[in-house]
Structure 1
């Protein structure tokens, strides 16, 4: 194995053998906080996906869940953190989440990033929103790929996927 083979092998280990689900990311900073708005390269998702994704993230990466909210377009989000905690810390068991809403958010500490993380899902859209103090777009892209693919704890965790082919 030559010198260039070592670099090539390392590069291949940083990518999974699939095309990304991330069509675009917009990064906005406000003080120490960073907001990453993600447009998915897939069809929109629904309420059941939001609930299962929130439960997956609470089990796979987020600890010390500090806030759970749901909301509608024409009103403020409702903080349902205490109801969530009384429901075995599962969105799927939280009575207030049995009916669809426009948004769902879960906030806690990411074990992977070792930083605060809030994830917001928007019903019937292709948009996800991430709030964190992490100012590293590449690291956040890896995190988002891992969230979407649900690959925490696997060999594909925290890896980028291949870019979407140009048409």
Structure 2
């Protein structure tokens, strides 16, 4: 299907996406065409009622969009990079650069690569809460300069 993307300055661009495309798929297309990160994109549609397209996993059709629909695109300022601290079991503190939309899984992978610890052997805790897979760091209120702790899982047997 063909979607028209309208920028705030009034310029329009037509993009072709699959009928089953999600908001995330559309953001990827926009990212390639406009050379902006998906996290910088704010999308909305008005098909009788204004909808913010903020759930990347939802299909465009679930918002009532079809071929010929127009999407408004707002490109926000670049996402600031934050630094967080991660303390391991021996007390060593490492610094990691994270994006505001980064997931727990993405940070754990960075830590696993740097610390050389298999992902299955530890969890990440901040302010007494275990950070769960599939969640974003911002879901836990993690801010610039937050400290997290690596907690090793006990082996059974």
Give the TM-score, by structure 2 length: 0.26
Give the TM-score, by structure 1 length: 0.25
